[in-house]
Amino acid sequence: MPKIQLALDTLDGDHALELANLAAPYVDILEAGTPLIKSVGISIVTKLKAAHPEKTVLADLKSSDVGAYEADMAFRAGADIVTTQGITTLATIAEVQREADKWHRRAEVDMTGVADPVGRAKEVKKL
């Protein structure tokens, strides 16, 4: 069954929480977007999860290096899913996946900018 994800890409934490409250009955995943996390910090993930514990919360970190540190930070904040960039090294993608496994959560790879998404997906799947 398809999942509906709301990307909260605003720069204002209060506005993001308002939007999440309005959309929560209709969506499955609340995404703390990259601009939101950069603007207000990782605590927005904690606030989203506290306000909507029944929802999946995705921290769209798009990690490109130090993936284990960033993934750990997001999972500690309450994220169910973290993202890394498909254009980064396989080592970074593997780090993020190891953290996800450790926390019994999920890692996703953002394929934006990847020249050969199918080829990269095959490489990532091996991890």
Say what the pTM is: 0.95
Query: What mean pLDDT comes out for the span 95-113?
Result: 97
Residue 1 pLDDT greater than 90, yes or no: no
Residue 38 and residue 34: Cα distance in Å, rounded? 6
At residue 14 the predicted structure's pLDDT band, cuts being 50, 70 and 90, is very high
Each residue of 23-78: pLDDT tens digit?
Answer: 999 999 999 999 999 999 999 999 999 999 999 999 999 999 999 999 999 999 99
Place of tokens 């939101």: 36
Residue 110 and residue 102: Cα distance in Å, rounded? 21
Tell me the CA distances in angstroms from 103 to 30, 76, 91, one per residue in order: 19, 9, 19
Contacts (Cβ under 8 Å, ≥6 apart) of 102: none
Contacts (Cβ under 8 Å, ≥6 apart) of 116: none
